[in-house]
Structure 1
């Protein structure tokens, strides 16, 4: 808060008298300003003076910003100047619909400089500044900052995988429709984009999921800008999703296949050590590949009474809050972590794990069917829990899923979890 001088009584009312700083000479012709504090109490005047002066300074700063050639900066300055005068920025058409008393209050808040009303303030409180035309590509640039809260805790690789689909969706839209200001996007534009994806699905044998991801990411970007920038646009983003067929299910590896093929001595010899240990670690833990790859050395506790790993949101985000969990290590998974006690630095920040493993399994005849992938080991772990009649709550805890109800108690001990997993471990 800028310090204020002692209020001066003029007649029955106290006023604040201050010199105008040189910084504001270009937009404030007066060298000295008198500000009525609307009180005859010196005590009240002293408390109001700093606030009144700060409001005046805020208005000057907003007017300085309003001299910018950038449309977004001019609009932001007008909004700030209106706020400094105690009003929310409204379009001129919205101001015109206000009750007469509220319109008069806005008019009375416009200072008169000489014999003319202050033009920047008038434009701000009466809605005379055009809203900026934010293009689609500019919207994406703004999105990274306005949606920064969504990236808290993400690793570098997670951030890359979060950004890339949005970049792709915007690039596809701009390539087809053009880099239009978002307020000019029409329903026909969106239908043309949807039809482009339908043709692409047919011509290239893609799934509707690819198109729907583009539509979702494009829509999320535009809606976020519309909301956070308070543009109040009606965007034509409804009813665009392309109907998808039956969801593709990633099949589990059978226990027999894991024993006879994947765990056959020498079967995984050609796979690099870290990828091999992540795969084997997955057999009796059911962790997601990214969860295993992201383990830090202190998350791997081989010297504990019950050897275990702790899936933590450290250096990365987890899929959900339930994904944070402790899993005992037994069987081939314990052996794998003893081989890689420091974790897997090669894949900690790399997205190549699944592609590397799946390519190796495919080339070496280790996929049970063409639809199988590394992720099938997670589903296999769940199937073996079900076959072993493991309690539903324990299954969900080990798998990193929510209970679907309020949790009571602290759950099974690590010793108990070890006994449960040992009963169906490979």
Structure 2
């Protein structure tokens, strides 16, 4: 790497790589290192050359036929030159001396300013169209911190409603540039959902979820891409209907129907094991399916399972907990000490179990489901007078007051659970 003095200051002299001949007419470049100290010049040379390469790469991208690539290249080139990219309107509002500084930073060849550099420093690069479907593509990267720790199945469940919301919007309004979305567009989308609610096809809660996910995608991209748009997303939600809660299975139904000899024989063994494990633990089905040999602990004084963020994301930090095993649940885990790999990364568990229960007359009412076992476990603990703090700890729920101390010991909780276990 050649360093030599030109006048008072040291410069870096390098041949232009062949890759950049299309955007750099010179065969050799001299880059000022802005110092008269050879030692300082040596320390700055690598960085100066890296910035030159970065600028040439941005110029190459600026020659692209892709409008978005050209726009991003202009932003990158402005940054390399030490400026923040501003559109031409914003540049025009700058103080005169700031505009002059930008103009003077534009390289000139044969008394003609470089067009690519000029577009970058004076904000003349046309901003690309960001359609609604393009927004969703950008969203996956811009919102990636929301996916940290999610399992493959959790990621699929997280993506699906956002894909659905965008697909629905495009079907009703069209794949518009998000800068051109109007209040009328959003009201048309809302009317579509209102018509479906009135027809009894969906609930208000379902419609609101679509509006929420659409808004999340648009607002995230608007914020993270610094688009500065005033999106017309306010006051669109529907009044929530009364929440439909799942009824619990009665104790008699569990003991005489679900736990009757042979009642679950037609269900595959791993799904049956998760169901039986839920009877006396009340875990969420996905939590049971995610258990592994490391989180199923049978060889200890108090057999228990540990709900942890092991290859998946927990519903909340309160969901991290330890649950003692007793009765039918303990026997089920003895059959599956390594967990249930068939359902560890599968979304089919609830559908498989609910279909089996429905087909075999094992749902107490049409409103009951597999999840009703969780509600039943809560009711049995409540009837047994088990303290609210212990119940919330077992269910992974937030406590409606400050949480003092470590809570009940595992031995004590095991004794309480044993009283209500089947």
d(CA) in 1 for partners of 2:82 and 2:145? 29
| Map 1:275-294 → 2, pairs under 5 A | 275-294=271-290
Q: Number of matched residues?
A: 422
d(CA) in 1 for partners of 2:12 and 2:298? 72
Q: Is 2:161 the partner of 1:161?
A: no
Q: Is 2:68 the partner of 1:80?
A: no
d(CA) in 2 for partners of 1:180 and 1:315? 38
TM-score (norm 2): 0.93
SS in 1 for 2:175: coil
The C-alpha deviation readout for 1:224-254, integer Å capped at 9, x for no partner, is: 2222323222222222212211212222223
Q: 2:362 aligns with which of 360, 366, 369?
A: 366
The C-alpha deviation readout for 1:8-32, integer Å capped at 9, x for no partner, is: 141x333333332222211111222
Q: Which deviates further from its counterpart, 387-396 or 188-197?
A: 387-396
The C-alpha deviation readout for 1:366-419, integer Å capped at 9, x for no partner, is: 333322222121122222222323233322221112335665544333222211
d(CA) in 2 for partners of 1:378 and 1:334? 16
Q: Displacement of 1:286 after TM fit?
A: 0.7
Q: Is 2:411 the partner of 1:415?
A: yes
- 1:297 paired residue number: 293
Q: 2:353 aligns with which of 353, 357, 368?
A: 357
d(CA) in 1 for partners of 2:341 and 2:53? 53
- 1:120 paired residue number: 116
d(CA) in 2 for partners of 1:230 and 1:37? 33
- 2:333 paired residue number: 337
Contact 1:170/1:218 (CA < 8 Å) preserved in 2? yes
- 2:268 paired residue number: 272
Contact 1:8/1:17 (CA < 8 Å) preserved in 2? no
- Cα RMSD (Å) of the superposition? 2.1
| Map 1:85-96 → 2, pairs under 5 A | 85-96=81-92
Q: Is 2:3 the partner of 1:6?
A: yes
SS in 1 for 2:294: helix
Q: 1:272 to 1:180 in 2, by over 3 A?
A: same
SS in 2 for 1:190: helix
Q: Displacement of 1:199 after TM fit?
A: 0.8
Contact 2:3/2:11 (CA < 8 Å) preserved in 1? no
The C-alpha deviation readout for 1:17-65, integer Å capped at 9, x for no partner, is: 3332222211111222233333333333333333333222211110011
Q: Is 2:97 the partner of 1:110?
A: no
Q: Displacement of 1:212 after TM fit?
A: 1.4
Q: 1:49 aligns with which of 39, 45, 51?
A: 45
TM-score (norm 1): 0.92
d(CA) in 2 for partners of 1:213 and 1:397? 29
Contact 1:131/1:231 (CA < 8 Å) preserved in 2? no
Q: Displacement of 1:290 after TM fit?
A: 1.0
